[in-house]
Amino acid sequence: MKKLKILKIGGNAIDNPILLNKFLKDFTDIKDPKILIHGGGKLATDLANKLNIPQTLIEGRRITDSKTLDVAVMVYSGLINKNIVAKLQAFDCNAMGFCGADGNLVKSKKRIHETIDFGQVGDIKEVKEIQFKKIIEQGFVPVLSAITHDGNGNLLNTNADTMASKIAIAMSSIYEVELIYCFEKNGVLLDVNDDNSIINSIHKKDYEQMKEEKIIFEGMIPKLDNAFDALENGVKNVKICNAQNLNDYGTKLVESRFIATKHNLRQKNGLHQKNDSPQ
């Protein structure tokens, strides 16, 4: 089975042109077939603020009314996506930009929640892995924004971490997939202020215990939930790492388990701090 690497970039790593260029050069150097999924929430928020469009986040998810959806489409599928494609072309990486509506690649349904109206937010229900395979076999590198569609002419704003996970799961029926989440930290940290406090590996049961003990900051929880969903549904390898150091280990999600507590996690990482810090 051929290998496929799927990378998702987000956070501050996508906002800084110098850091983004470094990441894209390293991405270009990956020899295996590859797919890039990107976020860009800060830039979307900045534009919305300039346009006096109020923004609301609940549990890390953007409430997307019609005006916010317009901003998301413009920023994600327009400005960011095409800039990334242009920069990759400059590195001789034959990239092609897409959103989920293009080629019917990723279809979603509008999120229905008992108590929260998320607006035009989509939860993924179908990924066309054969379409992705055709694009890759033609020698193109797909670059996707996290805008999907419902099949009825409506665009939907979709979480980029979730999009990366669902695409990785779908592609694992064809390829041996490695999913890499890239952002500005060196991995999952015990202390957000200490870049060396990396948790080298996490098993699902350890992760649940760490959440219960509030070792994992809530901002990392959606990313880790998506990462474990991928690992448990056919994706061969999943890791979370710094976008500037793709070859470094970062945090690897594993199937074998160690017993995780605050004490032995700190011992494992050489830490002895008294207070938990968010990341």
pLDDT in tens, 174-195: 999 999 999 988 899 887 778 8
Average pLDDT, integer, range 18-28: 95
The CATH code that applies to domain 3-268 is 3.40.1160.10
Percentage of the chain exceeding pLDDT 90? 67
Positive or negative, the Cα torsion across 46, 51, 55, 61?
negative
Q: How far apart are the first and last CA of the chain?
A: 37
Highest mean predicted confidence (pLDDT) among 6-20, 112-126, 136-150, 216-230? 136-150
pLDDT at 279 over 80: no
Integer Cα distance of 183 and 90 in angstroms = 22
pLDDT at 243 over 90: yes
Average pLDDT over the chain, rounded to an integer:
88
* Structure confidence at residue 77 (pLDDT): 97
Integer Cα distance of 279 and 264 in angstroms = 19
* Structure confidence at residue 263 (pLDDT): 36
* Structure confidence at residue 47 (pLDDT): 93
pLDDT at 259 over 60: no
Integer Cα distance of 206 and 97 in angstroms = 37
pLDDT at 261 over 90: no
Average pLDDT, integer, range 200-219: 85
Of the candidate ranges 17-21, 146-150, 191-195, the one whose mean pLDDT is the lowest: 191-195
Integer Cα distance of 262 and 213 in angstroms = 8
Strands (E), the chain: 3-9, 34-38, 57-58, 61-62, 95-98, 106-110, 122-127, 141-145, 147-149, 155-157, 176-183, 201-202, 237-242, 251-253
Integer Cα distance of 186 and 195 in angstroms = 6
pLDDT at 265 over 60: no
Average pLDDT, integer, range 151-178: 97
122/248: higher pLDDT: 122
pTM for this one? 0.89
* Structure confidence at residue 269 (pLDDT): 43
With cut-offs at 50, 70 and 90, classify the pLDDT of residue 257.
low
